[in-house]
Structure 1
Amino acid sequence: MDFDFFFNNLPQLTITGLAFGAIYALIALGYTMVYGVLQLINFAHSEVFMYGTFATLWTVWALTGSGGASGMQLVGILLLALVMSMLTSALVALLLERVAYRPLIKRNAPRLIALISAIGASFVLAELMGLRDRVTGWFGLDDTLDRYVSGARINASMSGVVNMPNVDIFGIPVKTVDLLVIGAALLMMVVVDQFVRRSKLGRGIRATAQDQETAALMGVNPTRTIQMTFLIGGLMAGVAAFLYMLKIEVTKFDVGFLLGVKAFAAAVLGGIGNLRGALLGGLLLGVAENWGAALIGTEWRHVVAFVLLVVILLFRPTGLLGESLGKARA
């Protein structure tokens, strides 16, 4: 174990871990909201995130061409990329709800069937992106869209487009992008938390999560409420995808798999169905795996994260904040 490296770089390791954890938390929000309302795990949510990363990448490519951008032009491009990422992820999430879940919900299908549907939808969405060159070829667009579809199963990068300098905080060099990721993620989590707790629609979501039949009798439209739950989760996955691309700058058709697993672990760690638990679980998971990677090697990064999950659940089976969405107080 490299204790000297760990203690000498503890502040930077912690901030970087919080940045990764913030991304996990935003993705975990989709898992925890759908589970809170429907009591099922939307395993296709990882692909909702993945499509947002490509929306960010393609928007940046389209607007910067073969060169880069700077100043206010870069700010405008990034803001548009954020909007496109959120819209794309939201549309994919709504499509999932309409095609993969709503028919099963209307037929009162067992949750196991919905789970299988989610896994199937996850593979379909991932493979569609991984075979996008074949799809565009069917329509004769592979040459026109060559930059966007070639190398469909390898990494695609927007490296070099965004270059943010480091800043010194009390003499400690910190990456600006890490501070941006953490700040933006915290802001979005607060906005969603307050929306769910204080708005009329948020009360409808909580009522549906607590007792769907009673909520319907009180005038809450369950179909619309479920749609909004998927929509909010998709929007937050889009934000997470944008922040991920700012930090990592590389995506791939299967990029959502491991991140989705970690985000789901973060949701369980914090208390599945609890919005604030998703934030706490994500931040804790991100910091723990970054510390573990520094202490015992990067190859143990994922092991540390899931060992932490198992240990905490042994003592706290409902997660750190085990209160469900349906019991959340306004």
Structure 2
Amino acid sequence: MQNLFQILVDAIALGSLYALVSLAIGLVFGVMRLINFAQADYITIGAYALVVPTASVSPPLLLGALPVALMIGAVVLVVTLLSLATERLAFRPMRGSDPATLLISSFAVSYFLQHLVMMVHSGRPKSVGIGNSLSAAIEFWGIRIPGTQLLTMGVTTVILVALVFFLKKTPMGIQMRAAAENFQMARLMGVKANRVIAAAFAISGIMAATVSLLLVVQTGTLDTRMGLMPVIFAFFATVIGGMGSLPGAALGGFIVGFVSVALQAFLPPDLRAFRDAFVFMLVIGFLLFRPQGLIVNRAARERV
């Protein structure tokens, strides 16, 4: 029984991370019908903002040397400004294009940012010592919970509550919900497209910065592709939950987290190295039976 509870805690922690990335993808898709794969590079750049560009192994810290509150604020500011810049320079001029063109633009931005990081920092992994005090595990009734998992679950809970409040109680949040339901009608009612889309990108940047810090605290390493796999799994989660549905994106993130941890726990040892392949197979099987996802958004036509 304790083993099952341990698996449950691990699954919630991993699902929390995927849920944050899924929500960031779902927000932008909801208002712009754009799957922004550059979200992975927002995460990577947020992590690399912590270190001096010229350092290689065990680098001295840049933003990471600041007090915790200032460090978090600085990383969030860097990634938010980056996401707003990519929206303004790369996506806004193509807003009237078809979804395939927007998708290609997303890949182009992603590859540009990825190679920019490699040019500045090189492609070698780096080690960063942030949040070492959180590596210790806390025991509850025989269940060991690392501090990093508690942090991830707590931060995700706070962000989910804040996002629900923002979307339901603030004018900008209500406008974003209206745009997600019917963008053209929302514009006719006075919703400013540039402002709503920029707000969606800004929130996605805040979430990317949060995931950056959580990944660095958990792993203690930086890699130029560190944001890639979380975004791929989060994209699967968004598809499972229902494209354009924020509750579906969060639900899908937790489902993918549960499936990943369960496979890691119950697969034979020889097959655990292929866990991700089994996750992909399950996603394909799910889409064959319910391609629209678990929660279907009423807005089914293309927008913007």
| TM-score bucket of the superposed structures, by smaller chain | 0.7 to 0.9
Q: For 1:117-136, list aligned pairs within 5 A.
A: 117-132=105-120
| Deviation digits for residues 292-327 of structure 1 (CA, Å, limit 9, x no counterpart) | 12222431221232223223323322222223589x
Shifted more, 291-300 versus 257-266: the winner is 291-300
Residue 154 of structure 1, aligned match among 108, 124, 132 = 124
Q: Distance in 2 between matches of 1:317 and 1:64?
A: 43
Q: For 1:52-91, list aligned pairs within 5 A.
A: 52-56=46-50, 61-62=61-62, 77-91=67-81
Deviation at 1:15, TM superposition (A): 1.8
Correspondence 1:116 to 2:110: no
Q: Distance in 2 between matches of 1:231 and 1:286?
A: 25
Structure 1 residues 200 and 11 mapped into 2: Cα distance closer, same or farther (>3 Å)?
Answer: same
Gaps of 5+ in 2: 53-58
Structure 1 residues 263 and 123 mapped into 2: Cα distance closer, same or farther (>3 Å)?
Answer: same
Q: For 1:14-29, list aligned pairs within 5 A.
A: 14-29=8-23
TM-score by length of 1: 0.81
Question: What is residue 55 of structure 2 aligned with on the other side?
Answer: none
Question: What is residue 283 of structure 2 aligned with on the other side?
Answer: 309
Q: Distance in 1 between matches of 2:130 and 2:99?
A: 45
Correspondence 1:259 to 2:235: no
Structure 1 residues 301 and 161 mapped into 2: Cα distance closer, same or farther (>3 Å)?
Answer: same
Shifted more, 302-311 versus 44-53: the winner is 302-311
Question: What is residue 32 of structure 1 aligned with on the other side?
Answer: 26
Q: For 1:95-106, list aligned pairs within 5 A.
A: 95-105=85-95
Larger Rg: 1
| Deviation digits for residues 33-67 of structure 1 (CA, Å, limit 9, x no counterpart) | 111111121111111111112234569823776xx
Shifted more, 37-46 versus 79-88: the winner is 79-88
Q: Distance in 2 between matches of 1:324 and 1:91?
A: 32
Gaps of 5+ in 1: 1-6, 66-75, 133-148
Residue 205 of structure 2, aligned match among 217, 229, 234 = 234
Residue 155 of structure 2, aligned match among 173, 178, 184 = 184
Q: Distance in 2 between matches of 1:253 and 1:102?
A: 26
Deviation at 1:98, TM superposition (A): 0.7
Question: What is residue 48 of structure 1 aligned with on the other side?
Answer: 42
Correspondence 1:223 to 2:213: no
Q: Distance in 1 between matches of 2:60 and 2:115?
A: 23
Question: What is residue 56 of structure 2 aligned with on the other side?
Answer: none
Question: What is residue 163 of structure 1 aligned with on the other side?
Answer: 133
SS in 2 for 1:181: helix
Residue 274 of structure 1, aligned match among 239, 245, 253 = 245
Q: Distance in 2 between matches of 1:305 and 1:162?
A: 31
Q: For 1:193-212, list aligned pairs within 5 A.
A: 193-212=164-183
SS in 2 for 1:117: helix
* Aligned-residue RMSD, C-alpha: 2.3
Identity %: 30
Structure 1 residues 227 and 324 mapped into 2: Cα distance closer, same or farther (>3 Å)?
Answer: farther
